[in-house]
Structure 1
Amino acid sequence: MNRNWVFVLLAGLVEIIWVMGLKHSSNVWEWIGTVAAIAVSFYLIIEAAKRLPVGTVYAVFTGIGTAGTVASEMLFFGEPFKLVKVLLICVLLAGVIGLKLVTGDQVKTEVSK
């Protein structure tokens, strides 16, 4: 796995944190943490998208965020477990993994001006 895909993975994991922060933040420090997580997540995804196909990067990023947020809400915040929801998240993840597998690791080279 190259560094850019690591950035996508990390950005997706940080996305889970900030999405939960949007719902559960209740004081100024939690909101500051949420905003910081948004900034880190977007920085990582922007850096990865400079060198990888943007459509695939965005699909993987949002897939990780969606699956992780749903799982976190069920595990930590009492969201009811629904088998259909879990199965649909698995279908989403299968699509994301498929996109990653069919997208080569060809890294775009930056053009100097």
Structure 2
Amino acid sequence: MAWLYVLLAAIVEIFWVIGLRYSDSALEWAGTVVAIIISFYAIIKACETLPSGTVYAVFTGSGAAAIVLIDFLFFHAEFSIAKVIFIAIIIIGVIGIKMTTVESETLEGGD
């Protein structure tokens, strides 16, 4: 379940980063703030079970890779083979971190 929170946080991160760049109205800014809150809530929930360093690395790496790809595909950002190679390295790193992380047992009774 913790990995689903990380995935949710990374997906929502895409929306709030785009919102930070393109929001013009109060409603769009409100949506961006709500997306930030949801994203960080999901990170906090994931950190209850997974190491925070792992959560942060996977969250930022996967979110950054997705945002760069969306910039290429939808916002016509400058495309280069070097950027694609570095995105692939990020994705490989995120997969490696996930494969080598062991989920811990959550403590019962508030200990």
Answer whether contact 2:49 2:103 (CA < 8 A) is retained.
Answer: no
Give the AA of the match of 1:29: L
Give the AA of the match of 2:49: R
**Partner Cα distance (1:45, 1:84) in 2:** 30
Q: Which residue of 2 is the match for residue 7 of structure 1? A: 5
Identity of aligned residues (%): 49
**CA shift at 1:21, angstroms?**
0.7
**CA shift at 1:78, angstroms?**
1.1
Q: Which residue of 2 is the match for residue 29 of structure 1? A: 27
User: Could you tell me which of 33, 39, 42 is aligned with 2:40?
Assistant: 42
After superposition, the CA RMSD in angstroms is: 1.3
TM-score, normalised with respect to structure 1: 0.92
1:62 maps to 2:78: no
TM-score, normalised with respect to structure 2: 0.93
**Partner Cα distance (1:93, 1:37) in 2:** 23
Q: Which residue of 2 is the match for residue 52 of structure 1? A: 50
**Partner Cα distance (2:84, 2:105) in 1:** 33
Q: Runs ≥4 in structure 1, deviation > 6 angstroms? A: none
Give structure 2 stretches of 5+ with no counterpart: none
Q: How many residue pairs are counted as aligned between the two chains?
A: 111
SS at match of 2:110: coil
Answer whether contact 1:18 1:37 (CA < 8 A) is retained.
Answer: yes
**Partner Cα distance (1:105, 1:38) in 2:** 25
**Partner Cα distance (1:107, 1:84) in 2:** 40
Give the 3 Å change call, closer, same or farther, for CA 27–56 of structure 1 in structure 2.
same
